[in-house]
Amino acid sequence: MVGRSQVGRALEESAGTRVAGRELKVEYTRLPGDVSGCDLLFISELDPGRGRRIHAALRDYPLLTVSDIEGHARNGGMIELVVLGKKLRFEIGLDAVRAAGLRLDPKLLGLAIHVHGQSEVKD
């Protein structure tokens, strides 16, 4: 994780649980830094300029980026968490997902409230 937020604290509480047979580990990092062995990077509480630099540094790296920062999915991130009413929803930045060589399940794309780059969806 980069930055701190309520979502980050919830993730910390989930550390040690198993998801799809893999143990969830939560570590904080400062970027740029070593993210080898990391499958998902949660980014929170960054100024827009730093967010753009992080996206540029991680471009083409097979690492899923998730954030609660407004505009994350539009500005080079992959999954942006959005609170609508009392529900937690998400948007997807498909161009960033594809640039990193990752694929998202079409069912996940269907659950998103907005998929940026959706005109390119062929699945």
Using 50, 70 and 90 to split pLDDT, how confident is the model at 32?
low
Q: Is residue 14 part of a domain?
A: yes
How many Å apart are CA 44 and CA 20, to the nearest integer?
25
Q: Which of 21-30, 40-49, 57-66, 89-98 has the lowest mean pLDDT?
A: 40-49
Q: How many CA atoms lie within 13 A of 31 on its CB side?
A: 22
Q: Is residue 55 part of a domain?
A: yes
Q: What is the mean pLDDT of residues 38-51?
A: 75
Q: Is residue 114 part of a domain?
A: yes
Q: What is the mean pLDDT of residues 50-76?
A: 81
Q: What is the mean pLDDT of residues 58-82?
A: 86
For the chain, the domain total comes to 1
Query: Over the chain, what is the mean pLDDT?
Result: 82
Cβ distance 46 to 6 under 8 Å? no
Q: What is the mean pLDDT of residues 44-53?
A: 70
Q: Is residue 62 part of a domain?
A: yes
- For the stretch 76-101, pLDDT in tens is 889 999 988 889 899 999 998 998 89
Q: Is residue 77 part of a domain?
A: yes
Q: Which domain holds residue 31?
A: 6-120
Check pLDDT > 50 for residue 123.
Answer: no
Q: How far is CA 35 from CA 55, 62, 83, 87, 91, in A?
A: 13, 10, 28, 30, 23
Cβ distance 35 to 64 under 8 Å? no
Q: Is residue 1 part of a domain?
A: no
